Structure 1
Amino acid sequence: MAPPSFAAAALLALSLVAPGSAESAITQVSVESTSNAPVFDSETLQVTDASLSTLNKNQSAYFAFAKNDSSLQTRTFSNGCKVFPGDWLWPSNWVWSLFDDFLDGALIKTVPLAASCYKSWPQYNAETCETLTSDWTNSNIHAADPASVMWPLFEGRSCLPTTDSSASCTVGGYSSYAVNVSSVGQIQLAVNFARNAGLRLVVKNTGHDFNGKSTGAGALGIWTHNLKDIDYIPHYRSSGYNGPAVKMGAGVQAHEIYEKANELGFTAVGGEGKTVGVAGGYVLGGGHSPLSSIYGLAADQVLSLDVVLANGRFVTVTEENNPDLFWAIRGGGGGTFGVVTSVTSRVQPKVGVTVSTFSFSTGTDVSADTFWAGVRSYMERFPQNADAGTYAYFWILSTGTDAFTFLMNPFFAVNHTLAQYNALVKPWYNDLEDLGISITPNSTYYDNFYDAWMAGFPLETVASSVMMTGSRLFPRSNWEDTTSFNATFAALKETVVAGHPLLAFNMKAELVNGYPSNAANPAFRNTLLHAITSTSWTDTANNTEIKTNMENFTNNVLGKWRAVSPDAGAYMSESDILEPNFQQAFYGTNYARLYKLKQRYDPTGLFYAPTGVGSENWVVKSEDGLPDQNGRLCRA
């Protein structure tokens, strides 16, 4: 039998007023900043106790705030699952219409991005489908859609571009509805509605996360992508910081904040990817940066956050007014403790950068052994390079039997003139010359970060449904004795020889002296190498074959990386979704404290994300048996 609260909820639709007669529950309020940052207009539009008092009793049951009571039980259907489309407690069309009225028309019923390829959808259009198919790997089109994510494998591959217009396309693991957020009040309504109705809730900014954290079958999505406000604060003051800062809406992306920083003469710490949402899940998961070897992680820069909590209340979180939550949100993972609407971060002075790209390969004059000797000479210098404040993004690829290519794409030498960069890399270049490996570096100095970043990093290629990735943060200790380094080098080489690509970053991400500690993975503080690899399969592979491939990749390919770095970890946002003991790998010694805080701030289990804090309490009953989000979310 359903819990009494749900029996009552089932009667709500019978007594709700007609949608057209609903009064708005969002009102403009006077807001005084509690963090020394300006108040965005979107933050003055809120749901308050007074505005909710205008609703009738039945409406209020759907949209009321939660009590701050840790004894609240998770609201699920009688089978222990979140309410799902087709269930008798799924909100009626009238209820969704009422919700949309309260949101001022911001509710979007999900239409899969590729629906134009399928005759079963009204959006079918062969020309549109052709255009979409050619652009499918472009991250911009997925970021600009309220439900689409950049790794459809973890949505459930329910509606991919196709030339077979009679094939099946379903909403699958995408959220059923999404709120196109333009105000704090809309987020509050969505949080309250999902919690009170027992719905799954997901939060999406761009959809970059490698494991599909921002999607979920039957979910209500909160789409923060259009919260684009940016305010520069020349003189931010708090008990622990006095200096320039920037406040960013949750939808601000890397290219937007970097362009603004260049315009105003400062440097912001953000990701290398052009469309990554800097103020979204990126910073909440830690956020490594081309500037990390000097300034640490993006999470380390945060001075305050504006957040809608699981109880629906809007708060500003700082080190002074809520030290526990301030610690947890910065690095403890997106979609875990609340919906972040804006972030205020310290900024750095204008900085010059030398950017260099080059490559070398096996060939007539370069044997495989010689190639690997050249790679080893580079890897041996990781401590010196990172300590010099540089960040390198490189690939090592197998191109055939005993055939390999190394791509430096790019070496990003912050605070280095061209002469200083050449002096730094000269010992390695000399080794390559002695080995008979010829390179032709294309090295250019830029007097600002933005131009260097634009020149150095390509637009991300995304949306593969025949590939999964995994990563590892290799610690400095692996470079401190010959035995450890030999084992590390051998594990990385074996991965490439076996046909798996190596995409890696030579960097460090130490917490800068004087910066407050946070929940970012402690493994970041000791790392010299963030390495990513992948496995793939044909597009004709069945689900059993895919699952076998994934498990082999997790246990055997990545198992070798874990074996040489057993006390390290991995970056949660670019990781293997099947990572064993994800609590240790992604959160390290922080996990126990994070889990305790999760129970305090989200006692109803409203915020779920795969591999997020507390996710072990839940299971997705996937339609295809793969670790994706296309299925009911249920208590484990």
Structure 2
Amino acid sequence: MIPPAIALVAPSALPRALWDSLNVTVGGRLAQGTPVSLPCFNTYDGQSYQRNGTACAAVESGYTSPSFRVENFGAYMQASLLFSRTSTSEQCLLDMSNPSNPQAWTNFNCSQGAIPPYYIEVRSAKDVIAAYAFSEATGVPLTIKNAGHDYKGRSSLKNSLALWTLNLKGISYSKTFVPEGCPRHLKYTAMTVGAGMGWADVYQYADANNFTAIGGYHQTIGASGGWIMGGGHSVLTPVFGLGVDRALEFKIVTPDGSVRTANECQNSDLYWALRGGGGGTFGVVLESSSLVEPRTIPLQVANLSFPIVGNNTHDWFKILINNTYKWGTEGWGGHIQGSSLINVTPLLSIDQAKESLQEVSDYVLSQNGTVVVETLPSWYAFFTKYVLAAEAPVGTEYLLGTRLMPSSLFQTQTGMEQMYNAILNILPYAYPYIVVGTPFLYNHTAGTTSVTPAWYNSFWHISARTSFLFNSTLAAKVNAYQLGNQLVQNFYNISPDSGAYFNEGLVYEPNYQQSYWGPNYDRLLSIKKKYDPLGLLDCWQCGEFPYMFIQPLVVDSELMFQLGSRVNLTRGILAGLK
């Protein structure tokens, strides 16, 4: 039975004594969350504020630095979603192209936006259990933040209490890992990482301990957070699978206050749900264990780029499309952006790699570009040489939308022409970002993960990106959202039965239950009801379970931004607190 709906309770409506009590319960680790850029402003939520020049200088220096942002609770990697999604007047943004530009803080008010006004620095399961009890008793909604890599604003929520898991560190490695409760013969070579471990630290540890971890393309993405629970693609995914394919076990605190181990031998339904059902929905993951590979995996690396002149990218994309099926069978994975390509494969020799790329290399050289095809001895060598310089920028006002492009499109002339024409349609507005990171060659067993099955019969995870600036008008922001929808629609039109990546979909992903989970949605919903019967956890497009509905930026006919919230919780104490 679904409890009756009641009003969302804002933190400011609660007696101070309740917050003080919670702070004592969590060992003094309850803190106030404020926008990272606040020290630069003279006004805060419409009230006069004392600008702090010294603190502001530190913010300006680190504004586009992932290491700075990851260590500050009030800083998220994609800054725009903290503010544009809540109202027309709320923002606390600096100029990402020049963070010291005074127009940002002299012409605008700093607002709280969607940043939770309170957060708990989680150090143990007890902190999570205390937060669940507090939310259940008061009606204050919860949100979960790890490293803040979130293209849809799911890890932030206005007037919520946040659980910040960044400080759940720790990493270990075993050649004889047996999932808890499983027979001893189920042994794996695996690593176990705390929720707050970033991939750069994991990769360094893996290299030092002679193994390879398959993970994200950014140094500060959390290895046990939303990346793995939403799917988790890598440039090595074509051969070694998605993060969810490799996940062996999760330690999680579910909303009923239980600390559970989920693997193939116990809580197997929850284990399946966490392998693709998305973060922030089924509980707070404390750590995860995943398969690893030997360190000595020589990689053939291709780094190609050329200057864009006129329409010279048209032939470039035609060559890419025509070769995608062949490259897919050869294990190539990587990133293609504009007129540049960085791909790797562990399956070819250096001579085979050069032969494989001959046509595209010749074209790049004909356009006065550069071609490097080389062998690197390990993933870590590739990461340090290429990824750190090529990873996605942070502190931006980017809006992203994606689509998984079926392999069938690259196997017929008609399909390739459709793909080419779809790309040509968006080129006047944006260059596609193509992640060759689908598990096409991975020996996947159908039904073992809960992501959309479209992952396993696709070659490309393609995206189109739009943006606005710190001083953009309301009309410009609306246009950026609408244009993004229109650009991605070109790829929907030629792949109506495919899907999208939960971690990188449109803010307004159409029919998102089908896009993210396909036939797995109904089972995920039943598992959600089992482990979270009161609906304490939810977020935007995390499943639209019948408990909480949180809507980010809404563009209505009058070009207004609103935040709509509806929460179902049950506790009689709420009446006494109003």
Q: Which has the higher contact order (CA 8 A, sep 6+)?
A: 2
The change in CA–CA distance for 1:507 and 1:607 in structure 2 (over 3 A counts) is same
Identify which of 95, 104, 123 aligns with 2:18.
95
Please tell me whether residue 412 in structure 1 is matched to residue 344 in structure 2: yes
For 2:360, what is the secondary structure of its paired residue? helix
State the match for 2:218 in structure 1: 273
Please tell me whether residue 181 in structure 1 is matched to residue 122 in structure 2: yes
State the match for 1:22 in structure 2: none
Query: Could you tell me how far 1:230 is from its partner in structure 2?
Result: 0.3
* Counterparts of 2:293 and 2:450, CA distance in 1: 22
The change in CA–CA distance for 1:231 and 1:320 in structure 2 (over 3 A counts) is same
Query: Could you tell me how far 1:420 is from its partner in structure 2?
Result: 3.4
The change in CA–CA distance for 1:225 and 1:425 in structure 2 (over 3 A counts) is same
Please tell me whether residue 210 in structure 1 is matched to residue 151 in structure 2: yes
Gaps of 5+ in 2: 85-90, 95-100, 569-578
* Counterparts of 2:62 and 2:561, CA distance in 1: 24
Root-mean-square deviation (CA, aligned residues, Å) is 2.6
State the match for 2:574 in structure 1: none
State the match for 2:32 in structure 1: 109
What amino acid does structure 2 have at the position aligned with 1:423?
Answer: E
Query: Could you tell me how far 1:170 is from its partner in structure 2?
Result: 2.6
| Contact 1:354-1:452 within 8 A present in 2 as well | no
State the match for 1:65 in structure 2: none
State the match for 2:314 in structure 1: 372
State the match for 1:472 in structure 2: 403
Please tell me whether residue 481 in structure 1 is matched to residue 412 in structure 2: yes
| Contact 2:307-2:369 within 8 A present in 1 as well | no
The change in CA–CA distance for 1:599 and 1:629 in structure 2 (over 3 A counts) is farther
Query: Could you tell me how far 1:235 is from its partner in structure 2?
Result: 0.5
Q: How does 1:358-369 map to 2 (within 5 A)?
A: 358-363=304-309, 368=311
Query: Could you tell me how far 1:345 is from its partner in structure 2?
Result: 0.8
Q: Report the TM-score when normalising by structure 1.
A: 0.80
Q: How does 1:194-233 map to 2 (within 5 A)?
A: 194-233=135-174
For 1:614, what is the secondary structure of its paired residue? coil
Higher Rg: 1
For 1:279, what is the secondary structure of its paired residue? coil
State the match for 1:394 in structure 2: 336
Q: How does 1:118-517 map to 2 (within 5 A)?
A: 118-120=41-43, 124-157=51-84, 158-161=91-94, 163=102, 164-165=105-106, 167-237=108-178, 238-239=182-183, 241-350=186-295, 351-363=297-309, 368=311, 371-396=313-338, 406-408=339-341, 410-430=342-362, 436-457=366-387, 458=389, 459-465=391-397, 467-496=398-427, 498-510=428-440, 512-513=443-444, 517=448
Q: Report the TM-score when normalising by structure 2.
A: 0.87
For 2:382, what is the secondary structure of its paired residue? helix
- Tell me whether 134-143 or 298-307 shows the greater mean CA deviation: 134-143
For 2:11, what is the secondary structure of its paired residue? coil
* Counterparts of 1:271 and 1:604, CA distance in 2: 33
Identify which of 524, 532, 537 aligns with 2:455.
524
| Contact 2:463-2:488 within 8 A present in 1 as well | no
For 1:380, what is the secondary structure of its paired residue? helix
| Contact 2:466-2:483 within 8 A present in 1 as well | no
| Contact 1:156-1:624 within 8 A present in 2 as well | no
* Counterparts of 2:335 and 2:384, CA distance in 1: 14
The change in CA–CA distance for 1:349 and 1:514 in structure 2 (over 3 A counts) is farther
What amino acid does structure 2 have at the position aligned with 1:609?
Answer: C
The change in CA–CA distance for 1:165 and 1:312 in structure 2 (over 3 A counts) is farther
* Counterparts of 1:118 and 1:83, CA distance in 2: 28
What amino acid does structure 2 have at the position aligned with 1:588?
Answer: G
Query: Could you tell me how far 1:387 is from its partner in structure 2?
Result: 2.1
* Counterparts of 2:234 and 2:270, CA distance in 1: 23
* Counterparts of 2:92 and 2:368, CA distance in 1: 46
* Counterparts of 1:583 and 1:506, CA distance in 2: 23
Query: Could you tell me how far 1:148 is from its partner in structure 2?
Result: 2.6
What amino acid does structure 1 have at the position aligned with 2:509?
Answer: E
Gaps of 5+ in 1: 1-70, 397-405
| Contact 1:543-1:624 within 8 A present in 2 as well | no
| Contact 1:395-1:504 within 8 A present in 2 as well | yes
| Contact 2:407-2:458 within 8 A present in 1 as well | yes
